[in-house]
């Protein structure tokens, strides 16, 4: 190696290469993440209809937002949906994962079937479920009629508009199920063997081994589940157009309407920021509470 002091040392060259390699990610971060967040914050203090230049209006958008009954309605709908669908989805996907973790013949076929709905999403699935929940000719009300009852007026009665969307979300829990399954397979079997020798029954094993060992995965699924649920859009747009009487007016649907139907970009940005702060608050609460219930194996073995 050259002993003379050169500016282009090996580590500097490596750093240069490093930045070149990271360029797409750094530019993406600036143009499609950090930049837009800043811009969104700015627009939320303006009145902007795209055609004219943005006009600074201070806190007006936020003040209007808090007096807007549709905003509160959309928040209520989104909250109810999230609070019901997320815990329900987490429980169902965990139960399915436990079932699929059994070492029995043909399990691979079942795993394939159970994950299938997760590869589809969006318009086609929403259309299918809208038809399934058709109050007069749909599959669900036919099944209910077989039991001798009359099915509810799905999507027509206000109180029966949100439940089908929640039920439909359960059909697609394959993603979090797979994450649970990966977590289950990472639990060392010697823990169960030791518990068995100590005479712990299945229920005790579940509560004292499976749940704690799985808690980082539950944590992950909870966070991604909440972020996803608070941003539901396609279902409301395709299945109900937010109706009846705004019973399925999800926040992002209301945001979309303000931005792209009414061209109120400033107002929509304020709405987006409120939604962002709500998601941030949820995430922070879960993060802060995590030492109480999330168990990291690294702590047990003093460092990874």
Phi-psi region of 150 (alpha: psi -120 to 50; beta: other; left: phi over 0): beta
Binders of another protein in range 150-169 (CB under 8 A): none
* Peptide bond just before 244 cis, omega within 30 deg: yes
The contact pattern for another protein, residues 217-256, with x = CB under 8 A and - = no contact, is x--x--x---x--xx-xx--xx------------xx--xx
Task: Rule CB under 8 A: choose which of 89, 151, 164, 183 binds another protein.
Answer: 183
Based on the shown chain and the rule CB under 8 A, indicate whether residue 57 belongs to the binding site for another protein.
no
Chain-centroid distance, C-alpha 66 = 25
- From the list 60-68, 69-77, 139-147, 148-156, the region that binds another protein by CB under 8 A is 139-147
Residues 259/265, Cβ–Cβ less than 8 Å: yes
Nearest to 183 by CA among 221, 224, 217: 217
- Cβ neighbours around 17 below 10 Å, total: 10
Q: Which of these, 3, 62, 121, lies nearest to 270 by C-alpha position?
A: 62
Q: 44 — phi, psi (to 5°)?
A: -70, -15
Which structure tokens are listed for 74? 């959309």
Residue 56 sits in the site that holds another protein (CB under 8 A): no
Is residue 257 a contact point for another protein (CB under 8 A)?
Answer: no
Can residue 302 be called a binding residue for another protein (CB under 8 A)?
no
Q: Does 62 bind another protein (CB under 8 A)?
A: no
Q: Contacts with another protein: how many residues (CB under 8 A)?
A: 104
In the complex, the smallest distance separating the C-beta of residue 25 from another protein, rounded to whole angstroms, is 4
Least distance to another protein, CB of residue 229, Å = 11
Nearest to 259 by CA among 269, 274, 246, 250: 269
Where in 64-123 is the site for another protein (CB under 8 A)? 96, 99-100, 102-104, 107, 110-117, 119-123
Query: Tokens 């949906």 sit at which residue?
Result: 81
Least distance CB 246 / another protein (angstroms): 18
Q: Which of 59, 72, 208, 297 binds another protein (CB under 8 A)?
A: 297
CB of 30 to another protein, least distance (A): 9
Q: Distance between CA 141 and CA 118 in Å, rounded?
A: 24
Q: Looking up tokens 């702590």, which residue turns up?
A: 299
Residue 211 is a binding residue for another protein (CB under 8 A): no
The residue from 9, 39, 289, 291 that contacts another protein (CB under 8 A) is 39
């Amino acid at each position: 190696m050259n002993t003379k002091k050169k500016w282009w040392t090996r580590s500097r060259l490596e750093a240069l290469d490093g930045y070149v390699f990271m360029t797409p990610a750094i530019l993406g971060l600036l143009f499609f993440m950090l930049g837009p967040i800043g811009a969104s914050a700015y627009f939320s203090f303006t009145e902007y209809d795209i055609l004219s230049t943005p006009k600074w209006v201070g806190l007006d958008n936020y003040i209007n937002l808090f007096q807007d009954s549709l905003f509160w309605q959309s928040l209520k709908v989104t909250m109810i949906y999230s609070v019901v669908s997320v815990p329900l989805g987490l429980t169902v996907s965990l139960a399915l994962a436990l079932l699929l973790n059994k070492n029995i013949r043909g399990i691979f076929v079942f795993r394939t079937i159970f994950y299938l709905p997760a590869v589809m999403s969006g318009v086609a699935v929403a259309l299918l479920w809208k038809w399934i929940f058709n109050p007069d000719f749909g599959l669900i009300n036919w099944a209910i009629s077989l039991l001798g009852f009359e099915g509810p007026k799905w999507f027509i009665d206000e109180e029966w508009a949100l439940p089908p969307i929640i039920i439909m979300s359960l059909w697609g829990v394959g993603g979090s199920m797979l994450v649970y399954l990966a977590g289950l397979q990472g639990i060392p079997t010697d823990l169960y063997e030791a518990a068995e020798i100590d005479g712990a029954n299945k229920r005790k094993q579940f509560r004292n081994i499976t749940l704690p060992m799985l808690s980082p995965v539950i944590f992950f699924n909870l966070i991604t589940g909440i972020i996803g649920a608070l941003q539901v859009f396609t279902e409301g747009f395709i299945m109900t157009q937010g109706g009846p009487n705004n019973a399925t007016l999800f926040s992002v649907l209301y945001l979309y309407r303000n931005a792209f139907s009414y061209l109120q970009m400033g107002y929509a940005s304020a709405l987006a920021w409120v939604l962002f702060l709500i998601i941030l608050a949820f995430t922070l609460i879960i993060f802060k509470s995590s030492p109480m219930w999330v168990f990291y194996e690294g702590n047990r073995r003093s460092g990874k």
